[in-house]
Every structure is written in C-alpha cells, then in structure tokens.
Structure 1
Amino acid sequence: MNQIELHKHDLPSGLDFGPVVAVDTETMGLNPHRDRLCVVQLSSGNGTAHLVQIIPESLGGQGRNCPNLKALLANPDITKLFHYARFDLATLYNALDVVTAPVICTKIASKLVRTYTDRHGLKELCRDLAGVEISKQQQTSDWGALTLTQEQLNYAASDVLYLHRIWDKLCTLLEREGRMEIAQAAYAFLPTRAKLDLLGYGDPDLFSH
C-alpha cells in the first residue's frame, strides 16, 4: 500500500532517501520564469512519496527557504531520478536557486532504447515497464491552492512512486543496447541544458544551425 506524506515548506530533518531519489515538480504552468513552483515530490522507491508544498511568503509561507530540500537536491552523493528532467531542473533552479545534480532522466533513457515507439510519457512508461496504470487527470489542476485535494496528492505521488522500477528496466535496456555511456553523458549535461533554457535558448536551440 503506497503512502503519502505532505510537508509544508520543507522536508523534515533526518529523512534518508538512499543513493537514488525520485523527484518531480508541480507548477502553475510550463514557463519557469512566469509560473511558480508549488510542489516537489520525492520517493526512495519504497512505496512512500514525500510531497513538499512550496508556499510563497506573500501567502504566509517560507518561499525558497527550504534548506533540507535544497541540500538533498544539491548533494553530489545522491542521484536524483526524474522523468523529463530538463523542465524540472530549470524550475528548481529558477525557484530555489539550486543546481540539482547528479541526475538521471527516464524520458531520455526511453528515447535512447525504446526506439520502436514514439510514446515516452510517464503514463506509457508506468504501463509498459511497471505494469501500473496512472491517471493524468489532475495534471492541469490548480497546484497553487493552499489546500491540495486528495486527488492532487495522489496524482503528485504517482509521478515518483514508480520511477525506480521504470529505471531498473531502462537501465537493463541501455546496457543491452550499448547506450549507457551516451545516456550518462546526456544526464551530465542536463543541468546546463536547463540553464540554457532559462536564458532563452530553448527555441531556437543553441545547437541548431
């Protein structure tokens, strides 16, 4: 039975997520410059999701004052596991002024080895690699509300609860297809890619002709 722990403002002290922690974010929209960070989800893969609600000072919260969360994200000895890390890294850097590293991205891994499909969303990976059906219905709900609904909490938790299981399968495929080295190089570049996006080099891409 999965468990959800909701924390206001910051992670409590003393939590141990192990060497690899799954991370995701919920925001007010898809523009990191405009749309504020509302929730950061984390899981060690043990069936428990920890949700940190980031509340701005203007609404009675602590804003970016979340030292325990930031320390975890920046810890060089803990790998952060994302799905579509490029967006989350830009969001975390812009909102919390923290460079999240080192990272793994299951979307990149899927695109490198699941070349027989063009469906690399988390919903598809959960179904195909973890045998779990998740709902994306709450994706476009109001994450800036001071009180989140149970449906929102369940949705946010589902974004991190199965990432370890998915990564285990993708890791095997990367090794099998001889693409682990290129995947790791892509992961190492992701924090810089996120900074380029924030500088406006998402479109047009800096690497385009």
Structure 2
Amino acid sequence: MTIYLHEGDLPRDVFAPGPIAIDSETMGLNPHRDRLCLVQLADGQGDEHLVRFSGGDYSAPVLKSVLTDPSRLKIYHFARFDLAVIKAYLGVTAGPVFCTKIASKLIRTYTDRHGLKDVLRETIGVDVSKAQQSSDWGADVLSEAQKDYAASDVRYLHRAQAVLAERLAREGRTEMAQACFDFLPWRAELDLAGWPESDIFAHM
C-alpha cells in the first residue's frame, strides 16, 4: 500500500480498470466560499492517489478524464458534497455514482449512524481515525497524518460498496438506490444554484 501525492493533476494510466473511489478535502463546507484543496482516488488495488491544488489552477486534464469516464463507477461517501465541490472547482460532473452514505441510509435502517467511520466498522470491520478531519487542508505542506487520513477515506470504499450493494439487492432496494444515485449530480447542482436546504418537493 502506497500513498502518492501529486501536485495539480494525476499522472496518466495509474489505475486498473473498474470503479474508482473518490473523496475531497476543502477549506470548509461551503463550495462557494471554501476552496477545493485535495481530491483522493483509489482503484481498490492497494494504492491511493492524492491530487493537491495549491495555486488556483484547476485545469487537471488527466484527473478530469478519470472523473468523467462513463465506464468507471465512482464510489463516494456523501457524494452530494463531493459532486458539488468538484463541479464548482473542476467544472465536471464526476459520475456515474454510488454513494455509500445513501446506500447505508436505505439499508441500515436499524441505526441513525451513517458516517464513514460507522459504516466501515459495521460493514467490513475496519476502524478508521477521523482525527484529521478538521485540519488545515490549505497548508503549504501536508503532514503524514493528513495524507494517511485523506487516503483512508477512499482506501476501503470498494469493500464497503460491495457489502452494501449485496444488502440492497437482498432487501429489494437496488432500483430505489440507483434512482437516488442517478439524481445526486442534480442534487449537487441544486446546492450550487442556491437550494442547499430547501425541499423543492415539499408542498410549502
């Protein structure tokens, strides 16, 4: 297992074929205010690739080609935020989508704990640290702890996705989940367009 840190873009041909796990780190939770600092990716084969943005250049053609590849499923935890911030700064829709948080809410209805830490512990028996979650991702130099934290957010998503997909099928909720995943890019667009909290389907 190796963590690779790249400045501004991915090298070419670093991933095996198949789904890609994706996460992002930002300066905060408002895509209009808080800049995108890092995109993490993994193909489930043991290595993680971190793409760092520090100079305001978000051109990243290789990264964008991976994010928009229609043949690769993109696995997220809380895809709504990652899709929004990626669209805001990189200008692309990073799909097709599987969101382990949405899947968890649809299938782990016996709990209200759907954070990544809880989902990984219950589905695949892995305990991850969230100690660096609120650290300064815009720092000139990322610490080893920050890099390991960022990598851990994508390291196990393939395994969790497989378990959740199996449970969705078992309970007859695969089609419902897929409809939610298909809508997520538009949910992110609504967030960016000014409807982050409004339920536009509500009567009032």
Please indicate, yes or no, whether the TM-score normalized by the shorter chain is above 0.5: yes
Q: Could you tell me how far apart the structure 2 residues matched to 1:205 and 1:18 are?
A: 38
1:22-37 residue pairs with structure 2 within 5 A? 22-37=21-36
* 1:154 corresponding residue in structure 2: 148
* TM superposition outliers: structure 1 runs of 4+ over 4 Å: none
Q: Could you tell me how far apart the structure 2 residues matched to 1:149 and 1:19 are?
A: 30
* 1:60 corresponding residue in structure 2: none
* 2:42 corresponding residue in structure 1: 43
- C-alpha displacement at 1:171, in angstroms? 0.7
Q: Could you tell me how far apart the structure 2 residues matched to 1:148 and 1:93 are?
A: 24
1:66 alignment partner AA: A
Q: Could you tell me how far apart the structure 1 residues matched to 2:46 and 2:116 are?
A: 17
- C-alpha displacement at 1:16, in angstroms? 2.3
Give the share of equivalent positions with the same residue, in percent: 54
Provide structure 2 residue ranges, at least 5 long, that are not aligned to the other structure: none
Deviations 1:88-128 (A, max 9, x none): 00000001111111110000000001000000100001111
* 1:195 corresponding residue in structure 2: 189
Say if 2:201 is the partner of 1:207: yes
Q: Please say if residues 17 and 43 of structure 1, whose CA atoms lie closer than 8 Å, have aligned partners that are also in contact.
A: no
Q: Could you tell me how far apart the structure 1 residues matched to 2:2 and 2:111 are?
A: 32
Q: Could you tell me how far apart the structure 2 residues matched to 1:131 and 1:167 are?
A: 13
Provide structure 1 residue ranges, at least 5 long, that are not aligned to the other structure: 58-62
3-state DSSP of counterpart to 1:139: coil
Give the count of matched residue pairs: 203
Q: Please say if residues 10 and 52 of structure 1, whose CA atoms lie closer than 8 Å, have aligned partners that are also in contact.
A: yes
1:100 alignment partner AA: A
Deviations 1:11-54 (A, max 9, x none): 00122242200000000000000000000000011121100001
Say if 2:110 is the partner of 1:110: no
Q: Could you tell me how far apart the structure 1 residues matched to 2:152 and 2:201 are?
A: 34
1:113-132 residue pairs with structure 2 within 5 A? 113-132=107-126
Q: Could you tell me how far apart the structure 1 residues matched to 2:23 and 2:98 are?
A: 12
Say if 2:70 is the partner of 1:73: no
Q: Give 1:143's match in structure 2, choosing from 129, 137, 143.
A: 137
Q: Could you tell me how far apart the structure 2 residues matched to 1:103 and 1:19 are?
A: 13
